[in-house]
Amino acid sequence: MTRQPLALARRATAAGLVATALALGGCATPAHQESMAPVAVQSTKKLPFTVRVETRGGAATGLVDSSNVADADLKAAIETSIRQSGLFKSVTAGNEGDYVLTVSIAGLDKPMFGGAFTVTLDTGWSLVRASDRSVVLRKAVRSSHTTSMSEAFVGTTRLRLAVEGAVRKNISEGLQAIADAPL
């Protein structure tokens, strides 16, 4: 083999290694709040109450971290979903609201490496009546979403899509539990 084809082969190997690392690895893109709100949450139940949303247990995504769900982004996604579904009369801020909905992230299980990425989100949904602080709903919600390589080749994107999908399913199930609760 002459020098030129050898150099070409080395470059091809290097490019292949980088492509493989990109495809299999996953790091550092936070889940987008607009992609975490379920598209089709439709509630036949329309509650004549206002609600305030609080979220906890989330984490920001660091530079060398993998996709996380920040509290503020989860809160915004839940608020958007409630408005779109019409489940409550309105979403309030500050200390107002007939009910307080607290969603706590108990776990976000993400793969570090692989082909198809499956992410599992474990949350606790708690709905408290503001007037007497009585708990009307307490529910553990566990949701999973898998994103394949055909949906996103780059690992960072694939992981973010899997996280966003798990959040969407979690919000759908949580809001359904509220709709089913006797308020």
Partner 1 sequence: MKALIKLACAGLVLAALTGCAINRASATVDPGANLATVKSFHVKPHEKDERGVHQLIADNLRKRGYQVTVGPQPSVAVDATVTYVDKWMWDITMYMLELTINFREPRTDYPLATGNSLHTSLTRLSPPEMVDEVLGNMLKKEEKK
40 binds partner 1 (CB under 8 A): no
72 binds partner 1 (CB under 8 A): no
Specify whether the CB–CB gap between 134 and 157 falls below 8 A.
no
From 43, 124, 149, 183, residue interacting with partner 1 (rule: CB under 8 A): 124
136 binds partner 1 (CB under 8 A): no
Measured in degrees and rounded to the nearest 5, phi and psi for residue 99 equal -130, 155
Q: Which residues contact 118 (CB under 8 A, 6 or more apart)?
A: 111, 144, 145, 146, 162
140 binds partner 1 (CB under 8 A): yes
63-76 burial, b at 16+ Cβ within 10 Å, e below that, comes to eeebbbbbbebbbb
Piece of the chain touching partner 1 by CB under 8 A; list 29-37, 40-48, 134-142, 169-177 = 134-142
Distance CA 168, CA 108 (A): 13
- Closest to partner 1 by CB, 59 vs 116, is 59
Contact positions vs partner 1 (CB under 8 A): 7, 10-11, 14, 17-18, 21, 56-57, 59, 62, 64-65, 102, 104-107, 109, 112, 122-124, 126, 128, 135, 138-140
